[in-house]
Structure 1
Amino acid sequence: MREIVHLQTGQCGNQIGAKFWEVLSDEHSIGGDGVYHGDNDLQLERISVYYNEVGGGKYVPRAVLIDLEPGTMDSVRAGPLGNLFRPDNFVFGQNGADYTEGAELVDSVLDVVRKEAEGTDSLQGTGSGMGTLLISKVREEYPDRMMCTYSVVPSPKVSDTVVEPYNATLSVHQLLNSDLRKLAVNMVPFPRLHFFMTGYAPLTARGSASFRAVSIPELTQQMFDAKNMMAACDPRHGRYLTVAAVFRGKVAMKEVEEQMQNVQNKNASYFVEWIPNNVLTAHCDIAPRGFKMAVTFIGNSTAIQELFKRVNDQFSAMFKRKAFLHWYTQEGMDEMEFTEAESNMQDLVAEYQQYQDATIEDEGEYEEEALPEEEE
């Protein structure tokens, strides 16, 4: 069985991560004490992907919790799953100065990751909310392992940190180095275009699920809806390069395939025509707790450039006036790093736009351009 070592970093990463483990533990019927309390053997299927059995029927998450200040860690410890995690896997600093203290803390993090990796039979990858420094260090340590990040981008409506456009733009440069091989085979047609929009349906509270019948057509319609996306951009403003949908529950795959085909036929202009069979569906017959059926959506859409454009515009407006730049330069950063990060973001947006505008007739032109290189 392939295992996943899960890293969660910073205040936001740890808050989302705590909810992630709450949902996962609920699905596997693992209590706050790490003991299995369920009555169905299916709940223990593949539990070793995210949990390590330490004996006596106790399961411990393969998780490393990281922050540059202790406050968030104290909140997690005081929460309902505080005793679930291995105490040694809490790694934190004291003051929150990422550029300086992060470099010192990363060795401690790598030691913990190394111990977790040694406890696996076939390490598949690392996941969720890693800091950019950790991405490069973990990549150096495990060059042949798959890496997936669930990155949180500043909201267009709420801002609690004035320098978040700087932080987001500087991090995208590192995020271009992360990959997840299995998804990449089907989802990433070009190396740099691996930023996915994720979605989920139905987005309803567990208590209200029993009052509403959910059908396959409705799930399919909801998962393509901008309201169900976890990214602040509208997929109707771009085109899908590839799509993956994982259905859960007692669903007929024949009906799923028909509905997915209907969506593609009715909305052909929203899918690039030069990648055939670019919609992948998968099925797990165990429904999430509290629902009869659900679907997780992953889309590689050119519309995500909206998100990068928005952050880049905010970055450029501040950088032009060198606002708050001293906070970064006095910690050892160079102004050239900001210029490079800005240029990198602009290139990414341009590349998404290029493939959004591309048509099937352009394919011949690209091939002709490549021919002289091949002859050499």
Structure 2
Amino acid sequence: LNSNILMREIIALGVGQCGNQLSYNFWDNLTQEHGIDPVTGTWQGNSDLQLMRSEVYFNEVQGGRYVPRSVLIDLEPGVLGQVQNCPKMGKLFNPDNVIGAQNGAGNNWAKGYYTDGAEMVEEILDQVRRGVELCESLQGFQIMHSLGGGTGSGLGSLLLERLNEEYSDKLSFNFSVLPGSSDGGVSDVVTEPYNTVLSLNTLIENSQATFSIENRALYRICENNLKIKNPSFADVNHIIAQVMSNSTASLRFPGYENNCDIRKLSTNLVPFPRLHFLTQSQAPLVARGNHLFEKMGVSHVAQQMLDSRNCLSSANITNSGKILTASCLFRGESISAYEAESTVGSFKNKKAASFVEWIPDNTMISICKVAPAWNKQANVSGTLLANSTAQQSSFQKLLGDFNKMLKANAYVHWYEGEGMGKDEFVEAASNVMDLIQEYQQ
């Protein structure tokens, strides 16, 4: 079945508590969409489409078992233990690719980057190298992590740098969760601004595409759109997993050639190397355990996914900034390409002021004929990926909090105790400030 298709494999890494919870949800969706039984790892699907490009993310081993091309990493054992002991998904992952320590990173970027994380990095890279050897034509690495804690931010940054050094011809792309406290939310991690800005500094230089997801926006979506009064991590992660699944659908299933691998997707969406932070929007939004009660057409889905209320960012991409590039990914068995293109074209004409005029064909359409796992009843689902200048407003808030704390020298001793210099804080802040100014130009 796969013999005429050159596989373009992706190795996915979950780093830290949030990264591994996201990873679990991501693989849960992928097993469903590709028809793979998560307990036995065998294909139980109903369409050849499910297997045609399954090896982008799965490695087929003896006995017809499909194993996620995944490495799960944390500096504390809690979440990794939950994943491995889970009756539904625990047996799916290769146990050699679950790498943990005992002490945690104490919400300290420097602990993840310089000390505890650095002690583990060679072991992690050894497992990555084994994964690369099993690939026919590796296209790159997908890293899932949050930027507010210590492991996802510090060890995530170190891994990204090391992968870039060792595999300089491959692409690295990140699903990065930004903390919500900068936008009126609450947080139990007081060092979030430091960890986030230090991580952004690494992402600017080493990631080719960063899908930035804001915690505050996720809670807003849960409370306002989905009417969930007290959203749990599971509710929030369910939304992220929907977007991650849709964002990667064109890489995993046959369809439009314009976004069929991560290099093509990045080429289309990233006009300047440093401006690679992508905002995502999802339609319809479906709560955990629910499904859609009405059929939605292409025009309704397009209208919703271009609405800032469905956006995983606090920035208003159609009103407060300019969209440099965008990709509209539609999913459904019987979507008309003509209808999708004319609907998006019509909206773009109405909102012409929201798009830069110096990239004439800056909006792409992709169509995937396999329905999403979380809502098979939906006849149409869509995700918007947008490279918008509005993104800089979130970075400004984070940098403002960072500068207030640094001016008071608050908590700096915890970072210096792990071997980090004060000049690194200043350098990171300067690089993020430069990025903000580049978005403003």
TM-score by length of 2: 0.78
Tell me the residue number matched to 1:27: 33
* Structure-2 residue corresponding to 1:174: 202
Give the equivalent residue in structure 1 for 2:343. Answer: 259
The equivalent residue for 1:110 is: 125
Query: SS of the residue aligned with 2:286?
Result: coil
Query: How many Å separate the matches in 2 of 1:206 and 1:295?
Result: 18
Distance 1:163 1:210, change over 3 A: closer
Letter in 2 for 1:187: L
Displacement, 1:207?
Answer: 6.7
SS in 2 for 1:123: coil
1:274 aligns with 2:358: yes
Superposed CA deviations along residues 197-236 of structure 1, whole A, max 9, x for unmatched, are 0122111248754521201111111111112222222212
Alignment of 1:193-204 (within 5 A): 193-204=275-286
CA contact (8 A) 2:282 2:311 kept: yes
The answer on 1:120 being equivalent to 2:135 is yes
Based on CA coordinates, which of the two structures has the bigger radius of gyration?
Answer: 1
d(CA) in 2 for partners of 1:210 and 1:10?
32
Whether the aligned pair in 2 keeps the contact of 1:3 and 1:125 (CA below 8 Å) is yes
Query: Aligned-pair distance for 1:11?
Result: 0.4
1:227 aligns with 2:314: no
Moved more, 54-63 or 209-218: 209-218
How far apart are residue 123 of structure 1 and its match?
A: 0.3
SS at match of 1:17: helix
- Range 276-285 or range 152-161, more displaced: 152-161
Pair 1:244 & 2:334 matched: no
Would you say the 8 A contact 2:286–2:292 is kept in 1? no
- Residue 88 (structure 2) pairs with residue 6 (structure 1): no
Q: For the structure 1 residues 25 and 316, does the alpha-carbon distance in structure 2 shift closer, same or farther, using more than 3 Å as the test?
A: same
Q: Which stretch of structure 1 is more off in the superposition, 208-217 or 79-88?
A: 208-217
Q: Which moved more, 1:284-293 or 1:67-76?
A: 284-293
Match of 2:190 in 1: 162
Matches within 5 A, 1:332-351: 332-351=419-438
SS in 2 for 1:65: strand
Encode CA deviations 1:312-348: one digit per residue, 9 max, x unaligned.
1110111110111111001000000000111111111
Q: What residue is the counterpart of 1:143 in the other structure?
A: 168
Amino acid at match of 1:81: M
Aligned to 2:75: 68
Indicate yes or no: 2:96 matched with 1:88: yes
1:361 match: none
1:368 paired residue number:
none
How far is the alpha carbon of 1:258 from its aligned partner?
1.0
- Checking the alignment, whether the CA contact within 8 Å between 1:200 and 1:295 is kept in structure 2 is yes
Of 213, 224, 227, the residue aligned with 2:295 is 213
1:76-102 Cα distance to aligned partner (Å, 9 max, x none): 112221110000001112212313011
Letter in structure 2 aligned against 1:302: T
Match of residue 15 from structure 1:
21
Does 1:190 find its partner at 2:265? no
CA distance in 2, matches of 1:302, 1:82: 41
Q: Distance in 1 between matches of 2:13 and 2:293?
A: 37
Please list every run of 5 or more consecutive structure 1 residues that lacks an aligned counterpart in the other structure. 355-376
Tell me the alpha carbon deviations over residues 259-281 of structure 1, each in whole angstroms, 9 at most, x when there is no partner. Answer: 11111111111001111011011
Q: Is the 8 A contact 1:17 1:128 kept in 2?
A: no
Give the 3 Å change call, closer, same or farther, for CA 136–26 of structure 1 in structure 2: same
| Amino acid of the structure 2 residue aligned with 1:144 | D
Q: Deviations over 1:150-189 (max 9, x none)?
A: 1111113131211011000001111012115322321111
Q: Deviations over 1:256-311 (max 9, x none)?
A: 11111111111111001111011011111222231222112110000001110111
The whole-number CA distance in structure 2 between the counterparts of 1:287 and 1:293 is 8
User: Structure 2: which amino acid aligns with 1:309?
Assistant: Q
Name the CA distance, whole Å, in 1 between partners of 2:363 and 2:48.
32
Contact 1:3 1:48 in 2 (8 A): yes
CA distance in 2, matches of 1:207, 1:76: 20
Q: What are the within-5 Å matches in structure 2 for residues 273-292 of structure 1?
A: 273-289=357-373, 290=376, 291-292=378-379
Q: Structure 2 counterpart of 1:95, which letter?
A: N
Letter in 1 for 2:379: K
Unaligned runs of 5+ in 2: 1-6, 106-111, 146-155, 209-261
- 1:62-83 deviation per Cα after TM superposition (whole angstroms, max 9, x unaligned): 0000001111111111222111
Give the corresponding residue for 2:234: none
Identity over aligned pairs, percent: 47
Q: In 2, Cα distance between the equivalents of 1:31 and 1:227? A: 35
CA distance in 1 between counterparts of 2:80 and 2:266 reads 33
Distance 1:206 1:346, change over 3 A: closer
Closer, same or farther in 2 for the Cα pair 1:349/1:122, shift >3 Å?
same
- Name the stretch that deviates more: 70-79 or 319-328: 70-79
